[in-house]
Amino acid sequence: MGSSKILVDASGTIKAGYDYTPFGEHMRETGSWDTRYQFTGQEKDEETGLYNYRARLYDPYLKRFLDTDPAGQGFSPYAYAGNNPVYYVDPDGEIFVPMLIGAGIGVLTNGAINSIEGRGFFEGAIRSAVMGGIGGAMSFGIGEMTSQITNTVGRLASQTLLHGYLGGYMTMASGGEFASGFFSGGLGTLAASGSGALLKNSHWGLRFAGMTATSGVVGGLGSEMFGGQFWDGFRNGAISGGLNDAIHLMTWEEWVEFKKFFTDIFDFFLSEPDYGTTVVDGVEYQIKGGVAPSPGIGKLGGTAKTIGILRDAAKYKGNFSLGKVTYEEAMQIGKAWVGKEFSINKKGIYMSKNGLRQFRPPSYKPKLKLYQANLEWRLKNLKQWQGNGHLTIK
């Protein structure tokens, strides 16, 4: 799960130890040393006892996040790891993205098998979605667990064996043989490792698609070699390669973009949310589903990109990137963000009239070695900012 268990000094002497309940409360503490990074490796605020999962704060005593899931997934928007932390780990408060991708892979591969065998494409889709979702979450969890293994060969061997067992049981649940599923899952992991090395410096989208497809095809061939169905093995290999290896090669910035990409897809099919209004040059426009009236686009220089930035800034929670803009664009977007009758404090921060949105003009970030501006928002009666979108100045 990635939790801090023991602290050692330079000589290897144990200085402190921690044991946790499944939801993150401390069962035991030993020793005199301390670390902020404890349950699942997340930073703990000693004063409040809350964990910072980047997308939102988590209370291990309540066993709940203090804010809703920014991806809008799961049966409860406040639940941690689907209320099943023995099986799942939620490293940033958004585990259900891999689950939904796994569910999608399950439905598509089941549909391919149905088409080959003359059945309706969506026959058994619910069962396949559930099985694929569980497989996606467990594959992601395997990646989290084995990421603590520093030896490359040992880590790859562990992942191959665990994904082999996962594939075997998934195939058995589909009515197939354990052996074909075991080899499809294991070979898929090995294929992902090889393709990942070749695509390491590629864009995260190409890398994810390439590793997922390669591991799927190899997994399918492995399944056929041992008497199984190609598409059953493709599912096992794709889930192993895509939702473990490909995701865990991503940097934090790539992971944020990855989640944003897929949550946008889910939003497109499931809803058309209203993101409120914004004001440009004294004229108020509604932003709904990412679309603004043509006069609004014209006022913003004729770029749908700017409207998209305002939409995304209002939509997402936690820290996230809003892309690259010029200094002039950043200032124009920032003033539109806070609306008319904004105020500017002593630090030069622009605040909306209702106090729920603020704009931090471009400034140099020494640690990042670049200039950034920030669009932030919060709910009524809350001091903490729920959303913080970064505009990188090009």
Q: Are 123 and 227 part of one and the same domain?
A: yes
Q: Does any domain span residue 80?
A: no
Question: Residue 87 in contact with residue 80, Cβ under 8 Å?
Answer: no
Q: Are 109 and 229 part of one and the same domain?
A: yes
Work out the burial of residue 168: count CB atoms within 10 Å of its CB; fewer than 13 is exposed, 13-18 middle, 19 or more buried. buried
Helix pair 230-240, 96-116: axis angle to 10 deg:
170
| Domain-terminating residue out of 256, 284, 313 | 256
Q: Does any domain span residue 200?
A: yes
Q: Are 62 and 138 part of one and the same domain?
A: no
Q: Are 108 and 180 part of one and the same domain?
A: yes
| Domain-terminating residue out of 72, 104, 127 | 72
Q: Are 193 and 234 part of one and the same domain?
A: yes
Q: pLDDT per residue over 320-331, tens digit each?
A: 888 888 888 888
| Domain-terminating residue out of 23, 38, 72 | 72
Q: Are 284 and 382 part of one and the same domain?
A: yes
Q: Does any domain span residue 91?
A: no
Q: Does any domain span residue 302?
A: yes
Total count of domains within the chain: 3
Instruction: Locate 294 and state its tokens.
Output: 């043509």
Q: Are 252 and 382 part of one and the same domain?
A: no
Looking at residue 314, what is its pLDDT?
A: 81
**Element spanning 186, H or E:** helix 178-198
Q: Are 239 and 100 part of one and the same domain?
A: yes
Q: Are 359 and 299 part of one and the same domain?
A: yes
Q: Does any domain span residue 127?
A: yes
List beta partners, residue 51: 44, 58
Range of the domain at 357: 274-393
Torsional class of 257: left (φ above 0), alpha (ψ -120 to 50), beta (otherwise):
alpha
Q: pLDDT per residue over 90-136, tens digit each?
A: 554 556 678 888 888 999 999 998 898 888 888 999 989 999 988 88
Looking at residue 137, what is its pLDDT?
A: 83
Q: Are 153 and 226 part of one and the same domain?
A: yes
Q: Does any domain span residue 268?
A: no
Q: Are 135 and 219 part of one and the same domain?
A: yes
Q: Does any domain span residue 83?
A: no
Q: Are 239 and 279 part of one and the same domain?
A: no
Q: Does any domain span residue 85?
A: no
pLDDT tens digit at each of 394 positions of the chain: 567 677 777 787 887 887 777 777 777 777 777 777 777 767 777 777 787 776 677 887 777 776 665 555 444 566 666 565 554 555 545 566 788 888 889 999 999 988 988 888 889 999 899 999 888 888 887 887 787 677 888 988 999 999 999 999 999 988 899 999 999 999 999 999 899 989 988 998 999 999 999 999 999 999 999 999 999 999 999 998 888 888 878 876 677 678 777 766 665 555 444 444 444 444 444 444 333 333 333 333 334 567 778 877 887 778 888 888 888 888 888 888 888 788 998 888 999 888 889 999 999 888 888 899 999 988 876 778 888 899 999 8
